[in-house]
């Protein structure tokens, strides 16, 4: 009798502690083997460690839970707790200032980028998400985008009349139009098939995405244009986050801090490795534009900075220019 009671009490305790475990669903659209995918796994491991199992982060890679275009509203509704959308995905949410990250040739390197993402301008941008029920926790790097197509992309004229898949950003739409291309907004998970079937001719992405989505199978030419940046903000449902016990939230903040250091450390390495793998595949011809060709692209895209200034706000843009040294009047 006594033993039965002890057993029942033990089972109840196990049940209670199991039900007290907090589950965080972390959804993202890229492969597990990318800077974002690896950093998400790192965070999940650290979160379990630091909270001693009180929090379980379930990572859903490759749009297996939500596609881009669906994930933001799902986070706001609370059906997923954590995401790391690319910065281009915040414009459609109504926080257009984020599209400053999409401006062509805005950043020459990660140092210029970090002047924004690791400083007060980046923090102020994340704070703008709060009225939308979203809390921004960190910026995670990916890298610089390159263009691909089935025909060579050397001169600006090579882009003319070609359909390029873009993320849903008005700045990216203008960027493609500036070189005479036709922008086509599309979910990331649909790009491979669209390239394969010829729905679009080409695309832009960091090489880590180009490689892990196997785009090299369906694109004959990759031009290392490094014409724009693509990276992420890690975000959570604000109500969920604020409702966590303070000690748990603190432990998760620490896990996120460590995951961010890791993410930003591996971003360049992962893109370098991916480029090596693309070359090795032998399926895509990798072209490095000459300085003149790259400058011609930069010049052709410069009007985007003037045309889109009001959209992102002149103040935001000035802050970006100050941090990056980009001067559109010099083109």
- Shortest approach of ligand LMR to residue 189 CB, angstroms? 9
Residue 91: partners with Cβ closer than 8 Å, 6 or more residues away: 98, 99, 102, 168, 169, 170, 171
Residue 53 C-beta-side C-alpha neighbours within 13 Å = 4
C-alpha span between 275 and 207 (Å, rounded): 6
Of 30 and 126, which CB lies nearer to ligand LMR in the complex structure? 30
Query: Residue 51 or residue 63: which is nearer to ligand LMR going by CB?
Result: 63
Backbone angles phi, psi at 3, to 5 degrees: -60, -40
Closer to ligand LMR by CB, 209 or 237: give it: 209
Whole-angstrom distance, CA of residue 235 vs CA of residue 127: 11
Q: Which two tokens stand for residue 182?
A: 């036709």
Helices (H), 94-233: 110-117, 120-127, 170-178, 191-197, 207-212
DSSP label of 243: T
**Residues lying near ligand LMR in the complex (CB under 6 A):** 29-30, 68, 86, 142, 167, 188, 205, 209, 230
Task: Tell me how far, at minimum, the Cβ of 20 lies from ligand LMR, in Å.
Answer: 33
Give whichever of 28 and 54 is closer to ligand LMR, judged by the CB atom.
28
Please state the closest distance from residue 29 (CB atom) to ligand LMR, in A: 5
The nearer residue to ligand LMR, 236 or 244, going by C-beta atoms, is 236
- Alpha helix ranges (H) inside 92-186: 110-117, 120-127, 170-178
Q: Which is nearer to ligand LMR, 128 or 165 (CB)?
A: 165
Q: Pick left, alpha or beta for residue 226 (phi over 0 → left; psi -120 to 50 → alpha; otherwise beta).
A: left
């Amino acid at each position: 009798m006594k033993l039965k009671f002890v057993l029942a009490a033990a089972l109840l305790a196990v049940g209670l502690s199991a039900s007290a475990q907090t589950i965080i669903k972390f959804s993202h659209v890229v492969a597990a083997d990318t800077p974002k995918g690896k950093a998400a796994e790192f965070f999940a491991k650290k979160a379990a460690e630091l909270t001693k199992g009180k929090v379980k982060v379930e990572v859903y890679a490759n749009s297996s839970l939500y596609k881009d275009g669906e994930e933001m509203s799902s986070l706001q509704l609370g059906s997923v707790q954590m995401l790391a959308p690319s910065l281009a995905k915040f414009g459609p949410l109504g926080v257009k200032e984020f599209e400053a990250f999409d401006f062509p040739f805005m950043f020459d390197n990660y140092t210029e980028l970090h002047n924004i993402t690791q400083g007060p301008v980046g923090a102020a941008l994340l704070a703008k998400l709060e009225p939308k029920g979203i809390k921004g926790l960190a910026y995670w790097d990916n890298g610089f985008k390159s263009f691909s197509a089935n025909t060579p992309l050397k001169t600006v004229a090579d882009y003319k009349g070609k359909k390029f898949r873009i993320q849903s950003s008005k700045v990216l739409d203008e960027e493609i139009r500036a070189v005479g291309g036709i922008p086509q907004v599309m979910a990331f998970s649909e790009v491979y098939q669209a390239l394969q079937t010829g729905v679009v001719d080409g695309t832009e992405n960091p090489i880590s995405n180009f490689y892990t989505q196997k785009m090299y199978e369906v694109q004959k030419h990759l031009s290392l244009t490094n014409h724009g940046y693509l990276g992420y903000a890690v975000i959570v449902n604000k109500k969920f986050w604020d409702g966590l016990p303070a000690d748990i939230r603190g432990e998760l903040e620490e896990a996120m801090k460590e995951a961010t250091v890791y993410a930003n450390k591996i971003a360049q390495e992962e893109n370098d490795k991916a480029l090596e793998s693309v070359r090795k595949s032998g399926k895509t011809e990798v072209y490095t534009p000459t300085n003149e060709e790259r400058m011609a692209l930069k010049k052709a895209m410069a009007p985007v900075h003037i045309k889109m200034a009001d959209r992102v706000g002149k103040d935001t843009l000035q802050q970006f220019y100050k941090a990056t040294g980009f001067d559109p009047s010099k083109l």
